[in-house]
Amino acid sequence: MTMTSTFTTAEEREAILDAVRDYAEAELAPFAIERDEKHLFPRDALHRGGELGLGGIYVREESGGTGLSRLDTVAIFEELAKGDPTIASYISIHNMVAWMIDTYGDDVQRADWLPKLTVMREFGSYCLTEPGAGSDAAAITTSAVRDGDDYVLTGVKQFISGAGESSVYVVMARTGATDSGARGISAFLVSDGTPGLGFGALEKKMGWHAQPTRQVIFDGVRVPASAMLGDEGKGFAIAMSALNGGRLNIAACSLGGAQWALDRAVAYIHERVAFGEPLAEKQSILFTVADMRTDLQAARLMVRDGAQAVDDHAPDATMRCAMAKRFATDAGFDVANRALQLHGGYGYLQDYGIEKVVRDLRVHQILEGTNEIMRLIVGREMLRPAGSASMRSSS
């Protein structure tokens, strides 16, 4: 079944999620350990996901996407991550790029890129972070200097997922003065193969082995002024608006990966006997599993709340997304780690897949804004009178 519109009925929603589960079970789960071990980027599997509609989940239908709500989107990413959190997370980043082009691009940019991105015949990457400007994104130094009808980009981006595989890079670069902060940043669409565009070596990472991560290097990359995405000086706002959805998607991927690990732990507990007693009859084990399930459900509700806030264009959507991302990625990693502990020594073996999920989910607490930055967002909002009032009204 191909996803074709915003969910309107419970039956349609379940049918689409069934299709996503089938895809995850057929294309992701059976190969997750091998792809992790051999660092294989599954282009063909992603192409087939594109045929299902996974390349533009919340891109508008008139732009070739599926036009689904953010509430529906997080349910989809949770199911994808049960198959493989690494690939689900990459699909999230790709969807951020497609959404940015749909939302801020002009007719030509949408026509050029979205037909290929929404079906994942080609891939997209999001280029914000720099070696010297991690959480302080407004301090980026990659420059875009106007030269006639062109801009010339110079600088380096760090930790870019899909680098070297993508056809289009959404790049945040400074068009204003060096001290202009967030107001001096603009966004550009840079095509693969543009002279001066290069890549660093593949990063050797703790997890996410099946998706490539490299530096993206801009050595006098010349792009036409028409490659600017949105208005000059609005790049930082564009980048931040995309992160609301990205944070929810990554939070949902943490839920899916952790739920898979919890399910494996429950199955293992039923099979094992220790000190002459089944593990399933030990009260300490029951309490652990109960806490794991409770934590995941609490996180799931927070992610849904954040998604609803984005769908409703709520004024406190950024804060609610930040809370959801922080809580869900912390809970997801903790649940996966406890699932490993419940497996004992077997949890540490690659064949069981638990240790892979633990490694994969650890980075979710860092990317799309570290969880320390999520606390900063929430704390600053709470110290504003309007923020405090918003929290009181929603309690």
The amino acid occupying position 22 is D
Structure-derived torsion over alpha carbons of residues 42, 43, 45, 49, reported in degrees to the nearest 10? 130
Is residue 368 annotated as part of the catalytic site, yes or no? yes
The amino acid occupying position 374 is M
- For the chain, what is the HEC assignment? CCCCCCCCCHHHHHHHHHHHHHHHHHHHHHHHHHHHHHCCCCHHHHHHHHHHCCCCCCCCHHHCCCCCCHHHHHHHHHHHHHHCHHHHHHHHHHHHHHHHHHHHCCHHHHHHHHHHHCCCCCCEEEECCECCECCCHHHCCCEEEEECCEEEEEEEEEEEECCCCCCEEEEEEECCCCCCHHHHEEEEEEECCCCCEEECCCCCCCCCCCCCEEEEEEEEEEEEHHHEECCCCCHHHHHHHHHHHHHHHHHHHHHHHHHHHHHHHHHHHHHCEECCEEHHHCHHHHHHHHHHHHHHHHHHHHHHHHHHHHHCCCCCHHHHHHHHHHHHHHHHHHHHHHHHHHCHHHHHCHHHCHHHHHHHHHHHHCCCCCHHHHHHHHHHHHHCHHHHHHHHHHC
Provide the β-strand partners of residue 219.
154
From the list 27, 78, 165, 368, the catalytic residue is 368
Which residues are identified as catalytic? Answer: 368
